[in-house]
Structure 1
Protein backbone atom coordinates (compact mmCIF):
# COMPACT_ATOMS: atom_id res chain seq x y z
CA UNK A 1 0.00 0.00 0.00
CA UNK A 2 1.35 3.41 -0.99
CA UNK A 3 1.04 6.11 1.62
CA UNK A 4 -0.50 9.42 0.65
CA UNK A 5 1.61 12.58 0.66
CA UNK A 6 1.08 15.27 3.23
CA UNK A 7 -0.30 18.68 2.31
CA UNK A 8 3.05 20.34 2.88
CA UNK A 9 4.13 21.88 -0.41
CA UNK A 10 2.85 24.32 -3.03
CA UNK A 11 2.47 21.38 -5.42
CA UNK A 12 0.28 19.50 -2.94
CA UNK A 13 -1.85 22.59 -2.34
CA UNK A 14 -2.25 22.96 -6.10
CA UNK A 15 -3.50 19.35 -6.30
CA UNK A 16 -5.91 19.98 -3.41
CA UNK A 17 -7.39 23.10 -4.97
CA UNK A 18 -7.71 21.48 -8.41
CA UNK A 19 -9.45 18.40 -6.98
CA UNK A 20 -11.66 20.40 -4.64
CA UNK A 21 -12.87 22.79 -7.32
CA UNK A 22 -13.50 19.94 -9.72
CA UNK A 23 -15.91 18.58 -7.12
CA UNK A 24 -17.50 21.96 -6.41
CA UNK A 25 -18.05 22.83 -10.04
CA UNK A 26 -19.60 19.44 -10.76
CA UNK A 27 -22.05 19.84 -7.88
CA UNK A 28 -25.43 21.24 -8.99
CA UNK A 29 -25.92 23.03 -5.65
CA UNK A 30 -22.48 24.63 -5.57
CA UNK A 31 -21.69 25.44 -9.20
CA UNK A 32 -24.23 28.30 -9.45
CA UNK A 33 -22.83 29.91 -6.30
CA UNK A 34 -19.37 30.14 -7.84
CA UNK A 35 -20.13 30.62 -11.51
CA UNK A 36 -23.30 32.73 -11.40
CA UNK A 37 -23.65 34.43 -8.02
CA UNK A 38 -19.94 35.06 -7.42
CA UNK A 39 -19.16 35.18 -11.12
CA UNK A 40 -15.66 33.80 -10.67
CA UNK A 41 -13.25 33.36 -13.53
CA UNK A 42 -11.83 29.97 -12.65
CA UNK A 43 -8.43 30.75 -14.17
CA UNK A 44 -8.10 33.74 -11.80
CA UNK A 45 -9.84 32.19 -8.81
CA UNK A 46 -7.79 28.99 -8.42
CA UNK A 47 -4.41 30.74 -8.05
CA UNK A 48 -5.99 33.02 -5.43
CA UNK A 49 -7.30 30.06 -3.46
CA UNK A 50 -3.95 28.32 -3.73
CA UNK A 51 -2.28 31.45 -2.35
CA UNK A 52 -4.75 31.49 0.55
CA UNK A 53 -3.95 27.89 1.52
CA UNK A 54 -0.19 28.44 1.07
CA UNK A 55 -0.50 31.32 3.51
CA UNK A 56 -2.58 29.31 5.98
CA UNK A 57 -0.61 26.05 5.82
CA UNK A 58 2.90 26.99 4.74
CA UNK A 59 3.07 30.45 6.27
CA UNK A 60 3.93 32.13 2.97
CA UNK A 61 3.93 35.88 3.46
CA UNK A 62 2.48 38.28 0.93
CA UNK A 63 0.98 35.61 -1.32
CA UNK A 64 -2.61 36.27 -0.22
CA UNK A 65 -3.62 39.78 0.78
CA UNK A 66 -7.37 39.86 0.17
CA UNK A 67 -10.10 40.07 2.79
CA UNK A 68 -11.71 36.64 2.57
CA UNK A 69 -14.67 37.56 4.78
CA UNK A 70 -15.49 40.68 2.74
CA UNK A 71 -15.43 38.63 -0.48
CA UNK A 72 -17.92 36.16 0.98
CA UNK A 73 -20.10 38.95 2.36
CA UNK A 74 -20.33 40.39 -1.16
CA UNK A 75 -21.37 37.00 -2.59
CA UNK A 76 -23.90 36.55 0.22
CA UNK A 77 -25.39 39.98 -0.56
CA UNK A 78 -25.92 38.95 -4.22
CA UNK A 79 -27.42 35.55 -3.49
CA UNK A 80 -27.75 34.48 0.11
CA UNK A 81 -25.70 31.49 1.14
CA UNK A 82 -27.63 28.86 3.06
CA UNK A 83 -26.55 26.27 5.64
CA UNK A 84 -26.59 23.56 2.96
CA UNK A 85 -23.96 25.49 0.98
CA UNK A 86 -21.63 25.41 3.96
CA UNK A 87 -22.33 21.73 4.59
CA UNK A 88 -21.65 20.78 0.97
CA UNK A 89 -18.46 22.88 0.86
CA UNK A 90 -17.27 21.06 3.96
CA UNK A 91 -18.11 17.62 2.56
CA UNK A 92 -16.23 18.30 -0.68
CA UNK A 93 -13.22 19.81 1.06
CA UNK A 94 -12.82 17.02 3.60
CA UNK A 95 -13.42 14.28 1.02
CA UNK A 96 -10.80 15.79 -1.27
CA UNK A 97 -8.30 15.96 1.59
CA UNK A 98 -9.03 12.39 2.67
CA UNK A 99 -8.68 11.00 -0.84
CA UNK A 100 -5.42 12.75 -1.69
CA UNK A 101 -3.46 13.42 1.49
CA UNK A 102 -2.48 12.21 4.93
CA UNK A 103 -0.26 13.62 7.65
CA UNK A 104 0.09 16.47 10.14
CA UNK A 105 -0.44 19.30 7.64
CA UNK A 106 -3.47 17.50 6.24
CA UNK A 107 -4.86 17.25 9.76
CA UNK A 108 -4.18 20.97 10.17
CA UNK A 109 -6.05 21.70 6.93
CA UNK A 110 -9.08 19.77 8.23
CA UNK A 111 -9.07 21.82 11.44
CA UNK A 112 -8.52 25.14 9.70
CA UNK A 113 -11.30 24.47 7.21
CA UNK A 114 -13.73 23.67 10.02
CA UNK A 115 -12.80 26.82 11.94
CA UNK A 116 -13.02 29.01 8.86
CA UNK A 117 -16.39 27.55 7.93
CA UNK A 118 -17.86 27.98 11.42
CA UNK A 119 -16.67 31.59 11.65
CA UNK A 120 -17.84 32.46 8.16
CA UNK A 121 -21.22 30.84 8.70
CA UNK A 122 -21.67 32.72 11.99
CA UNK A 123 -20.73 35.99 10.33
CA UNK A 124 -23.01 35.56 7.33
CA UNK A 125 -25.95 33.66 8.79
CA UNK A 126 -25.88 34.91 12.37
Structure 2
Protein backbone atom coordinates (compact mmCIF):
# COMPACT_ATOMS: atom_id res chain seq x y z
CA UNK A 1 0.00 0.00 0.00
CA UNK A 2 1.44 3.32 -1.00
CA UNK A 3 0.79 6.42 1.05
CA UNK A 4 1.39 9.86 -0.40
CA UNK A 5 0.79 13.37 0.79
CA UNK A 6 -0.72 15.65 -1.84
CA UNK A 7 -0.27 19.42 -1.54
CA UNK A 8 -3.65 21.06 -1.11
CA UNK A 9 -2.50 24.59 -0.26
CA UNK A 10 0.80 26.47 -0.32
CA UNK A 11 1.06 30.00 1.03
CA UNK A 12 3.91 32.53 0.97
CA UNK A 13 4.21 34.28 4.34
CA UNK A 14 5.48 37.85 4.84
CA UNK A 15 6.89 37.08 8.30
CA UNK A 16 10.58 37.13 9.14
CA UNK A 17 12.35 33.76 9.09
CA UNK A 18 13.59 32.85 12.62
CA UNK A 19 16.84 31.51 11.08
CA UNK A 20 17.97 34.00 8.42
CA UNK A 21 15.54 36.90 9.18
CA UNK A 22 14.53 37.12 5.50
CA UNK A 23 11.05 38.50 4.95
CA UNK A 24 10.26 36.88 1.60
CA UNK A 25 11.27 33.22 1.92
CA UNK A 26 8.73 31.57 4.22
CA UNK A 27 6.36 29.03 2.63
CA UNK A 28 3.59 27.28 4.56
CA UNK A 29 2.46 24.02 2.94
CA UNK A 30 -0.60 21.93 3.84
CA UNK A 31 -0.71 18.33 2.58
CA UNK A 32 -3.45 15.70 2.75
CA UNK A 33 -2.84 11.94 2.98
CA UNK A 34 -3.69 9.83 -0.08
CA UNK A 35 -3.61 6.01 0.10
CA UNK A 36 -3.67 3.56 -2.81
CA UNK A 37 -3.34 -0.19 -3.23
CA UNK A 38 -4.56 -2.83 -5.72
CA UNK A 39 -8.13 -2.72 -4.41
CA UNK A 40 -8.91 0.94 -3.70
CA UNK A 41 -7.85 4.59 -3.69
CA UNK A 42 -8.64 6.69 -0.65
CA UNK A 43 -8.33 10.30 0.45
CA UNK A 44 -8.10 10.49 4.24
CA UNK A 45 -8.86 13.39 6.54
CA UNK A 46 -5.27 13.52 7.83
CA UNK A 47 -3.69 16.90 7.03
CA UNK A 48 -0.07 17.83 7.78
CA UNK A 49 1.65 21.19 7.62
CA UNK A 50 5.22 22.26 7.01
CA UNK A 51 6.93 25.65 7.18
CA UNK A 52 10.06 26.12 5.06
CA UNK A 53 12.32 29.05 4.29
CA UNK A 54 13.31 29.09 0.62
CA UNK A 55 16.04 31.68 1.26
CA UNK A 56 18.12 29.65 3.73
CA UNK A 57 16.65 26.23 2.74
CA UNK A 58 15.66 25.20 6.26
CA UNK A 59 12.55 23.70 7.78
CA UNK A 60 11.12 25.87 10.54
CA UNK A 61 9.69 23.66 13.29
CA UNK A 62 6.84 24.86 15.56
CA UNK A 63 9.25 25.31 18.48
CA UNK A 64 10.99 28.07 16.50
CA UNK A 65 7.81 29.89 15.46
CA UNK A 66 7.27 33.42 16.67
CA UNK A 67 3.90 34.70 17.89
CA UNK A 68 3.33 36.38 14.52
CA UNK A 69 4.00 33.18 12.61
CA UNK A 70 1.69 31.31 14.99
CA UNK A 71 -1.16 33.78 14.36
CA UNK A 72 -0.73 33.61 10.57
CA UNK A 73 -0.59 29.80 10.73
CA UNK A 74 -3.81 29.63 12.76
CA UNK A 75 -5.53 31.94 10.28
CA UNK A 76 -4.53 29.82 7.28
CA UNK A 77 -5.41 26.60 9.10
CA UNK A 78 -8.94 27.91 9.77
CA UNK A 79 -9.29 29.05 6.15
CA UNK A 80 -8.15 25.66 4.82
CA UNK A 81 -10.79 23.43 3.26
CA UNK A 82 -9.29 19.97 2.76
CA UNK A 83 -10.54 17.66 0.05
CA UNK A 84 -13.52 15.56 0.99
CA UNK A 85 -12.64 12.09 2.29
CA UNK A 86 -13.52 9.40 -0.21
CA UNK A 87 -12.84 5.82 -1.21
CA UNK A 88 -12.82 4.62 -4.80
CA UNK A 89 -13.00 0.86 -5.42
CA UNK A 90 -10.84 -0.34 -8.29
CA UNK A 91 -11.73 -2.98 -10.87
CA UNK A 92 -9.98 -5.80 -8.95
CA UNK A 93 -12.13 -5.24 -5.87
CA UNK A 94 -15.32 -5.27 -7.95
CA UNK A 95 -14.21 -8.57 -9.52
CA UNK A 96 -13.56 -10.02 -6.04
CA UNK A 97 -16.98 -8.87 -4.79
CA UNK A 98 -18.69 -10.35 -7.85
CA UNK A 99 -16.79 -13.64 -7.44
CA UNK A 100 -17.80 -13.90 -3.77
CA UNK A 101 -21.44 -13.14 -4.65
CA UNK A 102 -21.44 -15.88 -7.33
CA UNK A 103 -19.92 -18.41 -4.90
CA UNK A 104 -22.50 -17.57 -2.21
CA UNK A 105 -25.33 -17.78 -4.75
CA UNK A 106 -23.98 -21.16 -5.91
CA UNK A 107 -23.86 -22.48 -2.35
CA UNK A 108 -27.39 -21.24 -1.59
CA UNK A 109 -28.70 -22.74 -4.84
CA UNK A 110 -26.98 -26.08 -4.09
CA UNK A 111 -28.41 -26.22 -0.56
CA UNK A 112 -31.93 -25.36 -1.76
CA UNK A 113 -31.72 -27.82 -4.67
CA UNK A 114 -30.50 -30.60 -2.38
CA UNK A 115 -33.53 -30.18 -0.10
CA UNK A 116 -35.96 -30.95 -2.95
Structure with greater contact order relative to length (CA < 8 Å, sep ≥ 6): 1
Q: Tell whether the structures are fold-level matches, with TM greater than 0.5.
A: no
What TM-score, normalized to structure 1?
A: 0.29
Bigger-Rg structure (1/2): 2
What TM-score, normalized to structure 2?
A: 0.31
